[in-house]
Amino acid sequence: MLNENIKTIRKSKGLSQEEFAIKLNVVRQTVSKWERGLSVPDSDMLITISDVLETPVSVLLGEKVSETKPDDLKVISERLEAINLQLARRKTLKRKILHYSFVGLAVLILLTFLIIVLVGSPYLTWDYSDPETAVMGTFIHAFEFVFVRLSPFLLIGLIAGAILTRKQ
């Protein structure tokens, strides 16, 4: 049974014994012995044969392959449809989360900028002879300096991201 299956499937794939032997890294005589039933490939070689012939090992060993019935195809298509629906929902949810993250961060930047403008820079009137206020004033000034210069670029990027992720 195995010998006939190997020979039949090999021929259906258009392989000669020599070509088949080269793909399996064996000599042609070994393939000939398998096909005549004089010897049997070991389990590792059987797996390699199934890979080369692109056929399950069970088919090589003689198991009948049952044809899929139309009902089976219907069940499979329903499952695939359910999976596609779940993936689409997941993609939509990720897009919404990303969109609202962009919008939220843009609003946060605008609010922070507005607070900085309205409050002014109170650290400018501090007494810098006190080391604690000098350090704190330096940190606040550094934050304002970096924020005011980087926030327009970040805001433009966030607005672009929000536009690109909006519902279409």
* Stated pTM of the model: 0.47
Mean pLDDT taken over the chain? 86
User: pLDDT band at 158, cuts 50/70/90?
Assistant: very high
The pLDDT of residue 26 is 92
pLDDT digits (tens, 9 = 90+) for 71-105: 677 778 888 888 999 999 999 999 999 999 999 99
The DSSP symbol for 87 reads: H
Instruction: Name the amino acid, one letter, at 11.
Output: K
User: How far, in Å, CA of 29 to CA of 77, rounded?
Assistant: 46
User: pLDDT band at 69, cuts 50/70/90?
Assistant: low
Residue-wise over 127-139: b if at least 16 C-beta within 10 A, else e?
eeeeeeeeeebee
Share of the chain above pLDDT 70, in %: 92
pLDDT digits (tens, 9 = 90+) for 91-146: 999 999 999 999 999 999 999 989 888 887 776 677 778 888 788 888 888 888 89
| Six token digits for residue 111 | 């609010």
How confident is the model over 48-76, as a mean pLDDT? Answer: 74
User: How far, in Å, CA of 99 to CA of 61, rounded?
Assistant: 56
Q: Burial-class residue 31 by CB neighbours within 10 Å (0-12, 13-18, 19+).
A: buried
The pLDDT of residue 46 is 87
| Six token digits for residue 130 | 């006190």
User: pLDDT band at 66, cuts 50/70/90?
Assistant: very low
For 15, residues 6+ apart whose C-beta sits below 8 A from its C-beta are 23
